[in-house]
Structure 1
Amino acid sequence: MEQTVEAVNHVIRNRRSIFPPSYIEKDIPEEVLLTILENANYAPTHKLTEPWRFVVYKGESLNKLAGFFTERYRTVTPPESFSQARYDAAGEKVLKSNVVVLICAELHPDKLPEWEETASVACAVQNMWLTATAYGIGSYWSSPAILDLLAKFAGIPENQKCLGLYFMGYHDAPEAPARRTPMESKITWA
């Protein structure tokens, strides 16, 4: 049991946001990806709604997602402000990733408030993050301002809400210590 506690503490305390510029060209095996997603399924869920929904982009579908971002840049940028470098960079994070997961919440307004479903999805993503960390896979959750457009692009049903993108890839980022203030300053004993 002691080893299990130590392993859990180690993974939790060493989880970091690792960004696509640090990703290397190494494929995440399907069985590892499925384990990461399966562990999301064990998040807490009030009234057993299991609200987490994911759209997985890997391989060729990453080009489609990157195309969404580059075309979005083209359509919202006035011609006089257009930059080929910015256009090319718009989809770069996606293309540097081995996998990108669109994070969604299936809402059940007749059963629960939206914040509870969002909290469950956040727990599911944390399970993914910890599992990815244990496998040596870098990842981070991004919530761009265009989540509604992303949902439309991905064909997300009306009863779901897009909460962001989860980028993943093996990486060569150096280890970095956690930057946290002492826990004692965040606890009030009653």
Structure 2
Amino acid sequence: MSDSGHCFSEDERQAVYRAIVERRDMRHFLPEPVDPVVLQRLLAAAHHGPSVGLMQPWRFLRITEPSLRQRIHAMVDEERCRTAEAMEARQQEFLRLKVEGILDCGELLVAALMDGREKHVFGRRTLPEMDLASVACAIQNLWLAARAEGLGLGWVSLFDPAALAQLLEMPEGAKPVAVLCLGHVNAFYPAPMLALEGWAAVRPLEELVYTNRWNNP
């Protein structure tokens, strides 16, 4: 039975797959502002993300105060140094990597997880982390929409969640999970930046898909 009536057109399908394949975790930005209308479209795309039990546990904080952006950057840089110390043999290699574009991007967002939903609904009884998975889905929606709009986005995770929550005056139960750098770029990386820098290699799909049993290709 054909489902062609539900398919997008060929051009539309190719556009979706192109956004997925060409999405990059960006670190280099231009200082140009992001059009507020475009930003609203991106946030709406994030808000259309799937969430378990329709809990919609995401909250997005738009950082517009320059001094607050500076403090977030300092917090991330402090954690970058701590992470480098833990790298041991790869410490200097890690320090050479550009890991964020907080001071350069046109828009800075913080994505947070808001607790307080039912603990035992739609899978949370056995998989309580599904609320975090829902936030990640919202971020991915925003990321793909940004790529389609020609904007870069970088996910920064080098920060102390408790310290950032305190800085942003988050209520009890709220937890920041991502600092998102969003903005115009000169060009998108032709491959993931960590692969270009020789830090890690992209594993082929066939190594990560099994049939019926673990490690059964």
Q: TM-score, normalised by structure 1?
A: 0.80
Q: 1:175 to 1:68 in 2, by over 3 A?
A: closer
Structure 1 stretch displaced more, 141-150 or 127-136: 141-150
The letter for the 2-side match of 1:98 is G
Residue 36, structure 1, aligned to residue 73, structure 2: no
Aligned length: 170
Where 1:132 maps in the other structure, the secondary structure is helix
Distance 1:150 1:6 in 2: 39
Match 1:161 to one of 171, 175, 178 = 175
Distance 2:12 2:102 in 1: 35
1:98–1:169 contact (8 Å) kept in structure 2: yes
Match 2:70 to one of 42, 66, 76 = 66
| 1:121-132 superposed matches below 5 A | 121-132=135-146
| Equivalence for 1:138 | 152
Match 1:101 to one of 97, 109, 126 = 109
| Equivalence for 1:53 | 59
Structure 1 stretch displaced more, 61-70 or 165-174: 61-70
Shift of 1:64: 2.0
1:18–1:173 contact (8 Å) kept in structure 2: no
Shift of 1:47: 1.1
| Equivalence for 1:184 | 206
Describe the superposition over 1:69-128 as per-residue Cα deviations: whole angstroms up to 9, x where unpaired.
448989xxxxxxxxxxxxxxxxx9432111111110111253435411100000000001
1:141–1:165 contact (8 Å) kept in structure 2: yes
Where 1:152 maps in the other structure, the secondary structure is helix
Distance 1:62 1:102 in 2: 14
- Note the residue ranges of structure 1 that are not aligned, 5 or more in a row: 75-91
2:73–2:103 contact (8 Å) kept in structure 1: no
Distance 2:77 2:141 in 1: 33
Q: TM-score, normalised by structure 2?
A: 0.71
- Note the residue ranges of structure 2 that are not aligned, 5 or more in a row: 1-8, 79-99, 196-201, 213-217
The letter for the 1-side match of 2:187 is A
The letter for the 1-side match of 2:113 is A
What is the CA RMSD across the aligned residues, in angstroms? Answer: 2.4
